Amino acid sequence: MGLTLQLWLMLLVPIVLAVALYGAVIHTTRHQFLRSQAAAELRHHASLVEAAIGGAVERGQVELLKHRIERLAQADRILGIAAFDAAGGPILVTDPIAGEAAELAALARRALSTGAEIEEERTLGGAPALVRTVTFSQRGLSVVAVVVRELRYLDAFARSSNRGLALTGAALLAATALIAAFASRATVGRPAGAIVAGVERVARGELGVTVPEAGAEELRRLARAFNAMTASLAEARAHLEQEQAARAAVERKLQQAHALSAVGQVVASIGHEIGSPLNVILARARRLADQPGWPEAARGELETIATQSERISRVVARLLSIARPPRTLGRGSDVAQVAREVLAFLGPECRQRGITTRIDHDDAPLHVALDADHLFQVLFNLCLNAAQAQPNGGEIAVRLAQADGRKASFEVEDRGPGVPPGVAARIFEAFFTSRGDGGGTGLGLAIVEGIVRDAGGSVELVRTGRGGACFRVTLPRGAAAPLVARGAAEARA
């Protein structure tokens, strides 16, 4: 049974009992009142009968006595009047009560024997009636008159009154029931139901639930306490999720650190094993290329050997930089100048893929507190990723901007498919790659993030709404450093 129904019954049952008790009391009181009123009227009529028959008895005029009794018997609510002599013989019995003459004669004899007036309720002719005796004695002649008053109208009046009372009570109960139902639902049922529904939702794990603070004062206080509880639980869960996310990030960092440590050991071993032979190959290729008399084709092959040897050295150096990132990042460099070098180096691959390149900046130089070699690595990895994301043509845009008086930023944007939301949170992790075809090592963006972080800056993936991917690098501003001419081999780091 619901709380609203219980409250409704608690309100309605006492009212029903009160109305029923009131009806019973009113019925009894009204009947007693009407009965006493009928008795008073009967006594008054009996006094008239006594006065009327007194004179006739004194003069011995029996016919006059009968005439007067018949006239008095026609009064309202009088069933009839019977007159008896001292022996109980009937002098006159009016028609409506003629069939009850014997019973009335016995009553008259009892009145003469007791010498007192008798008033009592009897059933005459199957109907209730009130009878009263009047005794008159004069000159040896005794006459007992019995006056009969009907009481059947009392039952009819009671039934009519009870019917009216029942209809009034039913209407009152119906109105009370409707008002009680509406009030109980508005003040208790609906607010309590909202709180119960909120508790069920919290049990299912929905902690962002609030319930309306409505209804009775106790329910409003309960709703306020419930809302405060859910807010506290939601805050605690958010704090727990943050702690779990932070713990997971720390675990990933530890895993990366172990992996990078292993990479550093492997790379150090590789560098030691191939460093000396590689230096010999590089030196001899350079020396042979510098000797005169070589055909151009042969000289070009020697330059290729030297260039690729340098490239292998650079790759090993990049692996060592991610495994053991340097702490000293050199003096400042011009972002626009380094960007031009990177795009020039990637020019053949971009043309092969049908990719256009551009640099958006004003004529003012933009210097950052990062040396040209490390800045080259940052821009190279970002632009290389952009090129690899557009195998069927597109665009690579490098935009330079002054962040504020102490910071400078630049963006590298492409028109590729972009970075899926589920991947964006892990793109800067070492060895994580979204290219499932084996075309990526997962080190490029990790190198970028490590270099930029060590320089006191930040790198982030920016959602532009134009499609593609856009990476924004923010670095401290730096002073201009004297440019050192770098050859093609250095540009291909």
- Which residues are bridge partners to 129 per DSSP? 122, 150
337 with 485, same domain? yes
DSSP state of 369: S
Q: Rounded to whole angstroms, how far apart are CA atoms 130 and 120?
A: 6
Residue 174 lies in a domain: no
Q: 118: domain CATH number?
A: 3.30.450.20
Which of 289, 324, 359 is the endpoint of a domain?
Answer: 324
Report CA 67 to chain centroid distance, whole Å: 93
- Count how many domains the chain has: 3
249 with 374, same domain? no
Q: 355: domain CATH number?
A: 3.30.565.10
272 with 344, same domain? no
**Cα angle for residues 300, 303, 307 (degrees, 5° grid):** 140
Average confidence (pLDDT) per 10 residues, the chain, 493 residues: 67 79 81 85 84 68 78 85 84 85 88 87 85 79 85 80 81 80 74 82 83 80 86 87 83 69 66 70 78 81 79 66 54 87 88 91 84 89 90 91 80 89 79 62 80 90 86 85 42 37
147 with 264, same domain? no
Of 92, 102, 154, 91, the closest CA to residue 124 belongs to: 102
Q: What is the dihedral of CA 322, 323, 326, 332, to 10 degrees?
A: 0
The residues, any chain, with a CB within 8 Å of residue 27's CB and separated by 6 or more, are 158, 161, 162, 165
Residue 188 lies in a domain: no
488, two tokens: 């093609």
384 with 440, same domain? yes
The residues, any chain, with a CB within 8 Å of residue 267's CB and separated by 6 or more, are 316, 319, 320, 323
338 with 482, same domain? yes
245 with 336, same domain? no
70 with 139, same domain? yes
In this prediction the pTM is: 0.42
Domain that holds residue 390: 329-491
359: buried, middle or exposed (CB in 10 Å: 19+, 13-18, 0-12)?
Answer: middle
13 with 150, same domain? yes
Residue 59 lies in a domain: yes
Residue 201 lies in a domain: no
228: buried, middle or exposed (CB in 10 Å: 19+, 13-18, 0-12)?
Answer: exposed
Which of 324, 350, 382 is the endpoint of a domain?
Answer: 324
299 with 436, same domain? no
Q: Are the C-beta atoms of residues 323 and 343 closer than 8 Å to each other?
A: no
Residue 371 lies in a domain: yes
231 with 245, same domain? yes
pLDDT for the residue numbered 34: 84
Which of 324, 340, 369 is the endpoint of a domain?
Answer: 324
443 with 414, same domain? yes
